[in-house]
Chains A and B, each alone.
Chain A
C-alpha cells in the first residue's frame, strides 16, 4: 500500500488566496483525520471523518476552514481566504477502527501564506 498520500507537499500562497489541501487515505481505512502542526500549538486535531461523515469539527479554527470527504478515497481541506497565521504543516491521517489502532499519517503539506 502506498500509505496516506497528501498533495501538495509544499504550498506558498499570498494572503487572501484560496488554498486546497488534498488527501488520499489508505484503502480500507474508514476514519480520516486532519491535523495542523505549529511550533506554538503543536499537533492540533482539526476535524475527523468516519465512513465519510464529519464527526467532530470542533478543532476547525474559523469559518475560513472547511473540509469535505466526498468518498472513501479522497478528502480536502480548504482555507478561504488564507491568512499568514495559517502557515503550518497540515497532516492527514487515516485509520481502521476509528483511530484507536493507531493512525497512519501522510507526509504533510507545508503551507506558507505570505
Chain B
C-alpha cells in the first residue's frame, strides 16, 4: 500500500528559527516521485518541489532545503531562518510511476510568530 505520513500536525516557531517538517512515505514501487506543496492562509496549493526516486541528492532553494533518504523512506523539508510569511500548511505527497495519482499526507501546519 502507498501511504504518506506527516506526524507533525502543528509546529510553532519564532521568526528566524530553523524548522524541519517530516515526511515518511510507504511504497513497494521502485519508481516514484515525492512532492511538497504549500497552502498559505489564502487557501491555494503551491507546488514547491518534485523529486524522483532515483535522485537522492539534497536540494536547496534559498531558505528551503529538502533531504531525501531512501534508507529511511523520508523526504524532510527544512526552512532556514523562518519568516512570518512561511506560515502555512505544508503537504508532502507521493506519486507512483505509471499512475496519475498523488497521495497526500495530512499536512503540517506551521506557524511562525514575529
A→B interface (CB under 8 Å): 31, 33, 42-43, 45, 48, 50, 55-56, 89, 91, 93, 98-108, 110
* Least Cβ–Cβ distance between B44 and chain A, in angstroms: 5
* Least Cβ–Cβ distance between B8 and chain A, in angstroms: 14
A101 pairs with B100, CB closer than 8 A = no
Considering only CB atoms, which chain A residue lies closest to B91 in the complex? A43
B45 pairs with A45, CB closer than 8 A = no
Residues 17-74 of B at the A interface (beta carbon under 8 Å): 33, 35, 37, 42-47, 50
B47 pairs with A102, CB closer than 8 A = yes
Q: If A31-B100, A33-B100, A42-B107 touch, does A101 touch B43 (CB 8 Å cutoff)?
A: no
Given contact pairs A42-B105, A99-B102, A100-B33, enumerate 13 new A-B contacts (beta carbons under 8 Å).
A33-B100, A42-B106, A43-B107, A45-B101, A48-B100, A56-B101, A91-B45, A99-B95, A100-B97, A103-B45, A105-B47, A107-B44, A108-B43
Q: Which residues of B contact A102 (CB under 8 A)?
A: 35, 47, 50
B→A interface (CB under 8 Å): 33, 35, 37, 42-47, 50, 91, 95, 97, 100-102, 104-107
B44 pairs with A43, CB closer than 8 A = no
* Least Cβ–Cβ distance between B97 and chain A, in angstroms: 7
B102 pairs with A105, CB closer than 8 A = no
A43 pairs with B100, CB closer than 8 A = no
Q: Top 10 nearest A-B pairs by Cβ distance?
A: A105-B45, A43-B104, A99-B100, A102-B47, A102-B50, A42-B106, A98-B100, A107-B44, A100-B95, A48-B100
A103 pairs with B91, CB closer than 8 A = no
